[in-house]
Amino acid sequence: MSHYTVAFAGNPNTGKSTLFNLLTGMRQHTGNWAGKTVITAEGEFSHNGHKYQAVDLPGTYSLYSNSADEEAARDYIIFEQPDVTLVVLDATSLERNLNLALQVLEITGRAVVCINLIDEARRLGIEINLKAISKRLGVPVVAISARNKIGISALLDQVERVATGAFTAKPLHITYNDEIEKGIAQLLPMVEQTIGSKYPARWIALRLLDGDDSLLTSLKGNIGRKTMSGTKEVISHGVTAYD
Amino acid sequence: MTGTSIPLSEAVNGSMLRISGIEVQGVLRRRLLDLGFVVGNVVEVLRRSPLGDPTAFRISNTTIALRREESSLIYGECIGGGDS
């Protein structure tokens, strides 16, 4: 039986933990206030004979190191490299929620975008063109209602496609203005040389341009760790060696 | 009524402004951008605290309160609402 890891990312109050609990059957208490889910909850679920280790990341608006929550979510996606990152969005507030989706897609194409609260959006008269969003983002997009258990199996089918590699994403590539792109081009060879091909070099170059000190600190810590133990496969089956 | 940018801290309750600039710097700038305070987005001034600070703003379908320190550094053009 194959075993995959799925990280759940999303803004606060998007029903991310509701979905997580629904899939894993865990009933841990999760609140909405800041800092409540800093410790990532883990659980398991299976679908079509595949087993998944689910990791509930802290709810964040961004991965740009404004807080401990965001650093935790960011570091997990970059350093633990889950097989699938499930980005849970609030259908009633897509504009802001897509901010996080874009940030995740800059790091990894192994993602599924899950638009939650779709029944709530319909009630408000919001129509969502899933096909168009999926086409623009370059990854599967599924609409669900975790609370009313709508669309869950369709979602898991897409998670499976990304996890098994049946689906190869062509995630949206954001081109920045000339000044930034020039900076990236200059930094990229150095970043690649320093950290190797394991991490998203373009994204790291971008963060360096932005002066993201906390990412640098995380990188230093994790690069040392990786060279010490080159056996990530073994770790991923146990309790995550994170924290 | 349009064309002139005022700081959000000066806008009257109930008014709608289209954000034209944000001069907050550093980590807080990033956070405000993430929350939807981006140029071109519309923000509504909901109400002020009894002592006048902070002020509640509605942006991207969510209510967010900002202190004068921040709201005085975000500029917008009034596009309606309010008593003015």
pLDDT tens-digit map of A44-91:
899 999 999 999 998 899 998 678 888 889 999 999 999 999 999 999
Q: Are residues A133 and A196 in the same domain?
A: no
Last residue in a domain, options A164, A192, A212 = A164
For residue A199, the domain's CATH number is 1.10.287.1770
Q: Are residues A150 and A218 in the same domain?
A: no
Query: So what's the pLDDT on residue A238?
Result: 34
**What is the residue range of A146's domain?**
3-164
Closest Cβ–Cβ partner in B30, B31, B60 for A96: B60
Q: Which CATH number fits domain B1-41+61-83: 2.130.10.10, 3.90.1150.10, 2.170.190.11, 2.30.30.90?
A: 2.30.30.90
Strands (E), A99-210: 111-116, 141-143
* Domain chopping of chain B, boundaries: 1-41+61-83
Q: From A212, which residue of chain B is nearest by alpha-carbon distance?
A: B27
Query: So what's the pLDDT on residue A235?
Result: 34
β pairing state of B42-48 and B55-59: antiparallel
Whole-model pTM: value is: 0.83
* Lowest mean pLDDT segment, chosen from A57-66, A144-153, B33-42: A57-66
Q: Are residues A145 and A71 in the same domain?
A: yes
Q: Are residues A153 and A190 in the same domain?
A: no
Contacts with B27 from chain A: Cβ below 8 Å: 65-66
Across the interface, whether the CB atoms of A96 and B27 are under 8 A apart is answered: no
In a domain, A170, yes or no: no
Q: Are residues A154 and A199 in the same domain?
A: no
Last residue in a domain, options A164, A187, A214 = A164
In a domain, A169, yes or no: no
Residues of chain B with pLDDT > 70, as a percent, come to: 94
Half-sphere exposure (CA, 13 Å, Cβ side) for A204? 25
- Domain total in chain A: 2
Cβ pairs bridging A and B (under 8 Å):
26
For residue A1, what are the contacts with CB-CB under 8 A and spacing of at least 6?
A: A49, A50, A51
Q: Are residues A24 and A103 in the same domain?
A: yes
* Residue type present at position A159: V
Average pLDDT across chain A, whole number: 85
Question: What is the pLDDT averaged over residues A141-150?
Answer: 96
Q: Are residues A153 and A183 in the same domain?
A: no
A146 has a pLDDT exceeding 90: yes
Q: Are residues A135 and A190 in the same domain?
A: no
d(CA A195, CA A189): 10
* Contact between residue A240 and residue A80 where contact means Cβ atoms under 8 Å apart: yes
Q: Confidence band (pLDDT; 50, 70, 90) for A33?
A: very low
